[in-house]
Amino acid sequence: MKGRLLSIVILVALLLAGLSFTAEADTCQPVYHVVKPGQNLTQIANYYGVTVQAIVNANNLWNPSLIYAGQRLLIPVSCQPQPPKCTKVHIVKRGEYLKLIAARYGTTWRAIANLNGLKNPNLIYPGQRLLIPVKCSKPPTKPTPTPTPEGPWTGKYWDNRFFSGSAKYTRTHKRVAFDWGTTGPGNGIGGTNYSARFTRERYFEPGLYRFYVKVDDGVRVWIDGVKIIDEWHDSAPKMYTADRQLSAGNHTMQIDYYQNKGAAQVTFWPERIDAKSAWKGEYFNNTGLADPVAASGNYNSIDFDWGKKAPATGVSADYFSARFTGTFYFIGGSYRFTATSDDGIRVWVDDNLIIDQWHVTSARSYVVDVDVGEGEHNLKIEYFEEKGDAVCQLRWTQR
């Protein structure tokens, strides 16, 4: 009798071998979720099987309703891998079990169970559709554009305002930055009634660029054959700008200019205004810029009017300070810097302190003219707010 009972036990154990699930090593890595457009915390919490409050606590969210697309949230799950980016569907066939399916696809039964929300991995049935985590196939990589050597500008000049006939002469220039006054560009062209066309091909890194042109009188600007500035009229000296997103590679620039009468000038330059030219901001919960840093961020401009609100999450609304740093390209010449603050502000160009108004005040503007050489220069702003309204702004224009 005992021998027969032992045989039954062994037989049952063998039959269940394919159905049993031994413990597998968990990988307790932090799980992060990148918020997609239209998602809210309730949907995200349900997806991971956690509570909304658990996500709020893990990320120090002061308002659960304020999340945004692209935000990275820490998900407080227990030893559960992040949902795979790539999956395929498997339809369960008769006689299959999770371990067998997992082995076929080179994954684990636990990964399939977690992905499909299976509370009992032994209970699957023929015809059931299961998501299987698989390796993502990499798309073919595009070859990186090879920068061509940057050549000079080619300038062609006509002795009329309409580009009529053949150009009077052609020459090359390192840059388009001319202030001819009333004398004209020379070589037989006087101070009135002439036109010029400047062309150049240049390599650009991918990004958002702002194109500046300061002229007296008319100007048109093209990038890759697309007109981005069209100010074809008589004018006193005036600055025009246009923004354009450029891909990595070589791009063609063309500037058409005409002078009617009086003084003449034309100056052109591009500036990257996204990540490369962004300001880096650091905030401190004191008025003396003393560590630790309470918050940080990147900004395309310093144009803040916080009122009585805090400037960033984790920073108090009163008795705080901030430091902003950035590197910017200048074409060279005299620039007017205007800083507006409530309360104190200091501004440096490279290592030169150009504005020093470190005191409590209502909103007030400070103006200074500075000669800046051509090339990239480091700018720094230090600011503090005691209490009440808070304003911090900086602008500059070429004179």
- Tell me the CATH number at 33: 3.10.350.10
SS3 2: helix
> Buried (b) or exposed (e) across 23-52, using 16+ Cβ within 10 A?
eeeeeeeebebebeeebebeebbeebebeb
Residue 21 within a domain? no
**What pLDDT is recorded for position 75?**
85
The whole domain housing 108 covers: 87-136
Residue 317 within a domain? yes
- Measured in degrees and rounded to the nearest 5, phi and psi for residue 48 equal -95, -5
Residue 11 within a domain? no
- Residue 218: give its domain's CATH number: 2.60.120.260
pLDDT digits (tens, 9 = 90+) for 38-91: 788 888 887 777 888 888 888 888 777 788 888 888 888 765 455 566 888 888
pLDDT digits (tens, 9 = 90+) for 334-376: 889 999 999 999 999 999 999 999 999 999 999 999 998 877 7
pLDDT at 184 over 90: no
- Global pTM reads 0.42
Which range in 129-143, 272-286, 290-304 is most confidently predicted, on average pLDDT? 290-304
Mean pLDDT (the chain, rounded): 83
Overall domain count for the chain: 4
23 vs 219, more confident: 219
Integer angstrom CA distances of residue 126 from 15, 21, 66, 93: 19, 19, 43, 5
The conformation of residue 176, written as its DSSP 8-state character, comes to -
Are 310 and 259 contained in the same domain?
Answer: no
pLDDT at 22 over 60: no
Residue 150 within a domain? no
**What pLDDT is recorded for position 116?**
82
Residue 339 within a domain? yes
Residue 188 within a domain? yes
pLDDT at 248 over 60: yes
Burial class of residue 351 (count of CB atoms within 10 Å of its CB; 0-12, 13-18, 19+): exposed
Whether 323 and 368 have beta carbons less than 8 Å apart is answered as no
Are 341 and 290 contained in the same domain?
Answer: yes
Residue 331 within a domain? yes
Q: Looking at 62, 83, 104, which one is the last position of a domain? A: 83
Whether 108 and 116 have beta carbons less than 8 Å apart is answered as no
Are 178 and 290 contained in the same domain?
Answer: no
Residue 288 within a domain? yes
Q: Looking at 241, 271, 301, which one is the last position of a domain? A: 271
Q: Looking at 49, 67, 83, which one is the last position of a domain? A: 83
Are 292 and 236 contained in the same domain?
Answer: no
